[in-house]
Structures are given as C-alpha cells and as structure tokens.
Amino acid sequence: MNKGTMELFCVRLMRNQHRCLPAYLTRSFQTSHCRQRQSTTRRTLPSTELYSTNTCRILRQPETTDSVCQLQLRPSSSQRQLFSSENVRTVLFPVGTPRPDPAVHCLPVIWLPKHGQNFFHTSAPHRALPAPLIWLVLKPLQKIVAIILGRSIRKWWWALPPNKQQLVRQKVWRRRWQLVAGGMVAMVIMASFFLTHLDESPITGRTRLLVFSRENYMELATVTGDGYMEEFAELMVPEKDPRHQVVERVVEHLAQRNKDIPEVSSVPWRVHLVDSPTINAFVLPNGKVFMFTGMLEAVADVHQLTFILGHEMAHAVMGHSAEQASMSHVVDFLSLILLTAIWAVCPRDSLAVLGQWIQTKLIQFLFDRPYSRKLEAEADQVGLQLAAKACADVRAGPVFWQQMEISDQLRGEPTVPEWLSTHPSHRNRVAQLDRLVPQYLELRERCSCPALPATDPRAVFAQSVKVLLDATRDLEGEAGKSLKPQALSQTPTSDHRRAPHPGGLATALLASSATGSPPALTLDTATHL
C-alpha cells in the first residue's frame, strides 16, 4: 500500500449490532491524545476528534451503543508528525454512541459528527445503461471478434510446416479425452445456465427462457419510448381529438376489466395516436401505447379495435420483447462458436462469407422467425382473452384478419409463405381464433357481460365477401375485362373497405357513450369503413 492512503477495516461489533458502519475520512482532521477521564460527568466532544496514540488509557462507557469500526492509517511523510508510529491503529465511533467496554483494548478513535454536521462528500450516482441496450451494442462486435479469431486460427494453421501440423494432430489425439471432458463440462455449465434462467409466463403458464429481466426491459422501454416521442413529435394527434379519446377509453377499459392480472394493474397505460396511414400499433413494456390512424381506418368496429389493442397489450403483459431477446441472445452466443469454426475451416475468405450467409439464413428460418410466429399466436390468444373480459364481441377477432387478407389481395400485395414471415398468415390466424372463440365466449358470459346479438359477424362478413365476388364476376362478364379499382370502389357491398370521413368512427363511438359507459360496450353496431 502506498504511503498517504487509508484503508478501512471492520474489527468488531458492539453489543446487539451486526453491521459495521462505513466511514470516510477527510484530509483535514483534528488530533489529540487520549486522556484518562477523571469525572463521571459526560464530556462534550468536538464534532470530530482523532486519538492517534498507539497506547492510551481506559475510557469510560457512555449510555448508548452503536457500532465500531477499525481504521488503519499509513500517513505520508508530511503527516508523520501527527502520529507516533508508522502504522497507527484507530477505532471509529459515531458521536452519540458509547465508548468501548473497558475490557477492550483501547485504540485511537475517531468520533463522527452528529446529525446535521456531516462533512463527508459523496459523488453523484450514475445510472447504468440497460443490459439489453448494452447487448444490442455489443452484438455486432461479437461477430467481428469471432470472424477475426477464426481467420487468425486458419492463417496460423496454414503457416505451420507439414511436420508441425502433424505434431499438432498427434498432440490433439493424445489429449482427446481431456478435450471431450472439457466439452462435457461446458455442456453442463450451459445446461445449468438454462435451468437457472427458466421462467413461467404470466397468464398462460408456459415455461420459457428469460435471460433479461422485466426490469431491464422497463429501462430500455423508457429510452425507446423517448425516441419514438421525438420521431413522431410532429405527427401526434392531440388528446382532445375524438380518435385519441376513443383509443384511450378502450385501453382504460381493458386495463380496468383485467386488473386482476398483476402485470396489467401495475403498468401505467398511456396512449399516443400517430397521424400516419401505416396500419400498425404497438405497446412498449412500460405501458406506452402507440397507434397509427391507419389502424383506426382498418378496423370495422369497436370490437375489432378492442381485440387489436388487447393483442398489443398482451405482448407487453407477457414480456415477449424480453423473451425474444433472451432467446436471440442464447442462439447468437451458440452461433458464434459455429461462425468461428466456419472462418477457421474454410480455405478462402469467399467461402467463409458464403458459409456465414448460409448460417445466418438457417438461424432466421429455423429459430428466429418460427419463435416470432409462436409469440404472435400467443398474443392473439391472450388478446382475445383480454377482450372477452372487457365484454367485447370476440367473434370480431377472426373477422379482422379476414379483412386484412382481402385488403392485401385488393392492393395486389404478394402473398408471402408463412415460413418466410415473422407473423402467422392471415388464414392461419383466422383458423386459430375460430377454435378459441367458443372458449372465450364462455369466459365473457362468466364476466357478467351483456348478451351479444344473435347475428354472427363472421357469417355477415362471409356473406358480404360472397356478394362482392358475385358482383365482380357480373362486371367482368359485362365488360369482358378485369374489374378496375374505380369500379370496385363503387360496388355497394365493398363498404367495409371504404375510407371513412376523418374521425367518423371515433365520433360515432363517443356519441354512443352518453350513458357514461365505455364505448366498447355501449355501441351495438359495426361502423363499416
């Protein structure tokens, strides 16, 4: 230890105490020698005293007891005049605490100042970056390190003469069992890591791997939310806008009806409506709801809006972002070993680049995208449950995805195979929701919700599509050519895709809520777009 430095050690505890209080010394302190207390009256001490002799007389014990810490000082040459020896042992006492027991060996002491006389200085706390954000930054660097390592191994191997290469092979063969044992130990460590990071998903109870905690992603969501607020600052719809009020009421009603779920009741939900034709909506883990006006125009009624918001809230409630990042983190870590091997084994860089591209695509199609589709399907299920408890018509959920399928066909968008997509196909989503509808209709009844109309919206939509196709065939037969988009937009049965007057759905929903109940429950109609 260099001269002039001080090191604090905890030597013992006083009675009924289990911890030693930390202390920090300033460079300026007062010194005095320990003296024998002759009277029984209590002497008033200065705010800070340092008794610096190695041997001192016995001190009498005061009334109260706190804690004691040992301090070891190694003074510099300029400070040696204050001490009688090179290594001084002192004991630290907070003011208002008792002196040590007379039987205890008397050591030099420091009396801390009373409350309000604190002369210590501490640095301002620094907030650490969220762990997921650090991982996102280091993720590309890990691949670069793996590539450099694999390429270095390849260059080193080819630089060896043939006889040394043969010696290396023989050495590896002689130690093959040690290498096998090392691999088994690594597998045991990885298995232990997986087992200690298993978590039970809320609501569904599914066992999953969770490396990043919910708290980590709450911190990341705060940073991400601030970024989105800056990005959409000029597109934000005012809170007094009817469209914003409708979305806000539906979110509040969903949260109120599902407050028995801790992950729902513990989050402060806040709505942000973005004026953009993009058909999208998402919810951050900290409860910030971002919805685009294009999504409001895509839904046909408030029941579909409730289902969509329930789907997005389910992602946040289930912690899907943390779960997906955890799985991606583990897969990426394992892929680094394979990436290093590719660059070490391939004889040329061009072949290594090709092998890396193949590896990336295999990981995408075998792990990332199937897992993403799994989480989307789970969000559909949980979103339907949240909507059912909010007394929405759960039969409107499958209809929404049928509308989206028809909309994509009318816009001429190419159909992507499901195995290439991060989301299930519209048709598979409809099939899954149709299987779940009876179950959540029963849940809706148990939640004391008002009765639904006898007309099933799925049957109404199927009939509308049939009429639309019949009208299209008639027009094709009469004109002898394909139906133009202008003619299609004038077909009476295509009202479900016609763009409404701005705020039309929102105004209708708010007008229907005169009784004070949420619009998702009081509106008994389907406002076609």
What is residue 98's predicted lDDT score, i.e. its pLDDT? 52
Nearest-CA neighbor of 257 among 266, 265, 269?
Answer: 265
- Is 59 a residue whose pLDDT tops 50? no
Q: Which of 58-62, 350-354, 511-515 has the highest mean pLDDT?
A: 350-354
Of the residues 49, 297, 312, 378, which is catalytic?
312
Alpha helices in 391-492 (DSSP H): 396-410, 426-446, 457-479, 485-489
Phi-psi region of 293 (alpha: psi -120 to 50; beta: other; left: phi over 0): alpha
User: Could you tell me the two tokens for 427?
Assistant: 């048709």
Q: How far is CA 486 from CA 139, 409, 482, 490, in A?
A: 49, 15, 11, 7
State the pLDDT confidence band at 473, using cuts at 50, 70 and 90.
Answer: confident
Active site residue 312: yes
DSSP state of 23: -
- Is 237 a residue whose pLDDT tops 70? yes
**pTM for this predicted structure:** 0.66
Q: Is the separation of the CB atoms in 243 and 503 below 8 Å?
A: yes
Per-residue pLDDT tens over the stretch 149-189: 999 999 999 999 999 999 999 999 999 999 999 999 999 99
What is residue 35's predicted lDDT score, i.e. its pLDDT? 42
Cα–Cα dist 407/426, whole Å: 11
Q: HSE on the CB side for 79, CA within 13 Å?
A: 17
State the pLDDT confidence band at 302, using cuts at 50, 70 and 90.
Answer: very high
* Contacts for 132-135: CB closer than 8 Å, 24+ residues apart: 132/212, 132/216, 132/217, 132/220, 132/322, 132/325, 133/219, 133/220, 133/223, 135/212, 135/325, 135/329
The position carrying tokens 């045991």 is 188
- Is 106 a residue whose pLDDT tops 80? no
